[in-house]
Amino acid sequence: MINQIGNFRDALKLSNTRGGDSNHVASTLDRPDGYALEIQALNAFYGDFLAVRDITLPVSRKGVTAVIGPSGCGKSTLVRCLNRMHELAGGRVEGHVLFEGQDIYARGVDAVELRSRIGMVFQKPNPFPKSIFENLAFGLRINGYPRRELADIVERSLRRAALWDEVKDRLNKNALALSGGQQQRLCIARALAVEPELILMDEPCSALDPMATLAIEDLIRSLAEEYTIVIVTHNMQQAARVSDETVFLTMGEDRAGFMVEHGQTQQIFTNPADKRTEDYITGRFG
Amino acid sequence: MIVGVPFRGLPTPQKKQIRKATDHGFVGLGMLATAFGVFAVGVLLFDVATDGVGVLNWDFLNSFPSRTAEEAGVKPALLGTLWVMAFTALFAVPVGIGAAIYLEEFAGKNLFTKIIEININNLAGVPSVVYGLLGLALFYYWFNLGPSIVTGALTLGLLILPIIIVAAREGLRSVPPSIREAAIALGSTKWQAVRFQVLPVAMPTVLTGVILALARAIGETAPLIVIGAFTSVFFVPTSPTDAFTVLPIQIYSWISRPLAGFQENAAAGMIVLLVVLLSMSSVAVALRHMLAKRRMW
């Protein structure tokens, strides 16, 4: 499915030359099933601080793209730019992100509507302090799903997140009574319920034990057949296990994160093109 | 006896004793401070109860003030207090919570909001009689509401507004940001996130603040005297534009009379005031309990 690493690498070389016409580069890449997301010359700021510099990155439709890199290199910031959550924390963004061909930073784009099409799972499981059912129903209600469909969609989403059998008898019990791993699967189910086209995951396993992590990873693999998933992880083994493509970010002297390499996961881990990627993967820094 | 590991931090027995003594000493001081508070409240309640309980009966609750102590009652003052408190809550609670939501969830963090914040915190400490003067100028004269229940309620409302705002903001701030993020990421608007996820979680704390604020308002005398509340009212208020008196004013007027019998009336009035206050608090506690149970936080 993915054998255009050469193209990717060419694109990266071009995009890393600052000031180059990176918009042009992304659009010349030709893939049979297109891209779910095309990040073009993206800069992300916190106030005056440049957190992420000049990222140009196409994200293939369906499958998992992992974002790895040392802490503080802007991985989370990058994914938060993809559903316009970055601007909520007072952040500022330059550049373009094409979601299904449309620039989400174009004037007139409704960020609220956009977020209902892009799901997000956070570092720490953050279920609402309500019943399991209500956790899923909230997203459905605010997005205008008819009341009579709620129960069906809730069940379907919980099944999809491999949680149904564990919680079917206690849908009206508090979600906070679930274990950490179950809570995180509930959060995934909650994101799935509103039928997103893309799912962003920001270190979804960093607060979980190894068994729960494994369950989530299995889930991610099975979701990858239908969804486009972008996952941030600080765990390289995890990236190797779950992702089809990997992006390696690192940061410069000015602490701004930038992209070093993007390619098929197997290639990144076995034969990285860049010395810095190799150093990171082999544990020499980061 | 632990052997093997040389423990070099061992204090001399003398130092050890001093440390222990300080420890015990502090616990003792703390208990003394607590006991003092409990003792003071106990004495107050006992004193009021012994003086007032003999007078307290249905007639006392159902009579108008009178020149003779035996015939005097608190009916107008009790009803006045209930009217004023209801309208105070009606005005101050929505406005206070609304302001808190705006400041905490929507307003940006800039110089303007910082100035507002400092102002609100300072307003909470302004003497109540100053609010009375404000109410007199604004509601009594400018809005031409006269010495009415509305004037009193609006004045007391202004007085407790800062308390409610500060408490409600505290409640909102204690809700983890991850809850907001979760809602926003699902495609909710900011208002939906606040209304359906943040506010329910914050509500118990907010309610506590509301009760503290109303408890403060129910005991206020000065601002109401300034806006022209009567000391003795011989009719029952039937509309918000009626003149009124409240329990604290009535109690004060009785207590300042030298005639025997009125002191007991004042004590009985205090009991009535305390009962009103306690029932208000218990409603809030019950409400808080119910919310906490339903929201499961």
What per-residue confidence (pLDDT) applies to A23?
Answer: 38
Contact state of B186 with A116 under an 8 Å Cβ cutoff: yes
- At residue A255 the predicted structure's pLDDT band, cuts being 50, 70 and 90, is confident
Nearest to A129 among B181, B183, B297 (CB): B297
Q: What is the mean pLDDT of residues A238-254?
A: 91
Contact state of B186 with A88 under an 8 Å Cβ cutoff: no
**Is pLDDT of A25 > 70?**
no
- At residue B29 the predicted structure's pLDDT band, cuts being 50, 70 and 90, is very high
Contact state of A138 with B186 under an 8 Å Cβ cutoff: yes
**Is pLDDT of A31 > 80?**
no
CA angle B104, B152, B210 (to 5 degrees): 35
Best to test chain A binding among B186, B194, B297 (most A CBs inside 10 Å) = B186
Which tokens belong to B51?
């003086």
HSE-up (13 A, CA, CB side) for residue B50: 5
Count of CB atoms within 10 A of residue A258's CB? 21
Q: What is the mean pLDDT of residues B11-35?
A: 90
Contact state of B185 with A120 under an 8 Å Cβ cutoff: yes
- Cα–Cα dist B121/A191, whole Å: 40
Q: Using CB atoms within 10 A of its CB, is residue B268 exposed (0-12), middle (13-18) or buried (19+)?
A: buried
Contacts of B273 (CB under 8 A, 6+ apart): B81, B218, B219, B247, B248, B251
CA distance B175 to chain A (A): 11
CB pairs under 8 A between A and B: 70
Q: Are strands A228-232 and A245-251 parallel, antiparallel or unpaired?
A: unpaired
Contact state of B179 with A126 under an 8 Å Cβ cutoff: yes
Which residues from A are below 8 Å from B105, CB to CB?
Answer: none
Which residues from A are below 8 Å from B198, CB to CB?
Answer: none
* A234–chain B Cβ distance below 8 A for any pair: no
Contact state of A127 with B183 under an 8 Å Cβ cutoff: no
- At residue B229 the predicted structure's pLDDT band, cuts being 50, 70 and 90, is confident
Torsion-angle region of B110 (φ positive above 0: left; ψ -120 to 50: alpha; else: beta)? beta
What per-residue confidence (pLDDT) applies to A36?
Answer: 86
Nearest to B178 among A88, A122, A194 (CB): A122
Which residues from A are below 8 Å from B182, CB to CB?
Answer: 122, 126-128, 187, 190
Contact state of B296 with A130 under an 8 Å Cβ cutoff: yes
Q: Where are the beta strands (DSSP E) in A63-187?
A: 63-68, 91-99, 102-103, 118-121
**Is pLDDT of A2 > 50?**
no
What per-residue confidence (pLDDT) applies to B15?
Answer: 83
* B197–chain A Cβ distance below 8 A for any pair: yes
* A120–chain B Cβ distance below 8 A for any pair: yes
For A45-60, letters b (16+ CB in 10 Å) and e give beeeebbbbbbbbbbb
**Is pLDDT of A144 > 80?**
yes
Q: What is the mean pLDDT of residues B10-28?
A: 86
What per-residue confidence (pLDDT) applies to B295?
Answer: 57
Contact A54, A258 (CB under 8 A): yes
**Is pLDDT of B43 > 70?**
yes
* pLDDT tens column, B179-202: 999 999 999 999 999 999 999 999
More confident residue, B6 or A67: A67
**Is pLDDT of A77 > 50?**
yes
* A81–chain B Cβ distance below 8 A for any pair: no
* A104–chain B Cβ distance below 8 A for any pair: no
What per-residue confidence (pLDDT) applies to B283?
Answer: 87
**Is pLDDT of B173 > 90?**
yes
Nearest to A128 among B179, B189, B192 (CB): B179
Please state, in angstroms and as integers, the Cα–Cα distance from residue A261 to each residue in A51, A55, B280, following that order. 18, 11, 65
- At residue B152 the predicted structure's pLDDT band, cuts being 50, 70 and 90, is very high
Which residues from A are below 8 Å from B176, CB to CB?
Answer: 126
Best to test chain B binding among A112, A173, A195 (most B CBs inside 10 Å) = A112
* A272–chain B Cβ distance below 8 A for any pair: no
* pLDDT tens column, A88-103: 888 899 999 998 888 9
Which residues from B are below 8 Å from A194, CB to CB?
Answer: 186-187
**Is pLDDT of B79 > 70?**
yes
Packed helices A210-223 and A180-193: angle between N→C axes, nearest 10 degrees: 20
**Is pLDDT of A11 > 90?**
no
- Cα–Cα dist A103/A98, whole Å: 4
Contact state of B187 with A116 under an 8 Å Cβ cutoff: yes
Contact state of A112 with B189 under an 8 Å Cβ cutoff: yes
- Cα–Cα dist A183/A201, whole Å: 14
Which residues from B are below 8 Å from A124, CB to CB?
Answer: 178
Contact B206, B171 (CB under 8 A): yes
- Cα–Cα dist B112/B144, whole Å: 32
Which residues from A are below 8 Å from B179, CB to CB?
Answer: 126, 128-129
ipTM exceeding 0.85? Answer: no
What per-residue confidence (pLDDT) applies to A27?
Answer: 36
What per-residue confidence (pLDDT) applies to B14?
Answer: 83
* pLDDT tens column, B249-271: 999 988 888 887 888 888 899 99
- At residue A119 the predicted structure's pLDDT band, cuts being 50, 70 and 90, is very high
**Is pLDDT of B11 > 70?**
no
Give percent of chain A above pLDDT 70. Answer: 88
**Is pLDDT of A12 > 80?**
no
Helix (H, G, I), strand (E, B) or coil at A239: helix
Question: Which of B 154-183 lie inside 8 A of A, CB atoms?
Answer: 176, 178-179, 181-183
Which tokens belong to A167?
């919680």
**Is pLDDT of B75 > 90?**
no
**Is pLDDT of B233 > 90?**
no
**Is pLDDT of A190 > 90?**
yes
* pLDDT tens column, B198-226: 999 998 889 889 988 999 999 888 899 88
What per-residue confidence (pLDDT) applies to A33?
Answer: 59
* A129–chain B Cβ distance below 8 A for any pair: yes
Name the H helices within B124-261.
Answer: 128-135, 149-173, 177-185, 190-193, 199-218, 222-226, 247-255
Q: Which is nearest to B199 in space by CA: A221, A128, A100?
A: A128
Which residues from B are below 8 Å from A190, CB to CB?
Answer: 182, 186
**Is pLDDT of B26 > 60?**
yes
CA dihedral angle for residue A283, residue A284, residue A285, residue A286, rounded to 10 degrees? 0
More confident residue, A35 or B35: B35
Strand partners for A94: A43
**Is pLDDT of A44 > 60?**
yes
For residue B26, the 8-state DSSP code is H
Phi, psi angles (nearest 5°) of residue A38: -130, 110
- At residue B124 the predicted structure's pLDDT band, cuts being 50, 70 and 90, is confident
Q: What is the mean pLDDT of residues A30-45?
A: 79
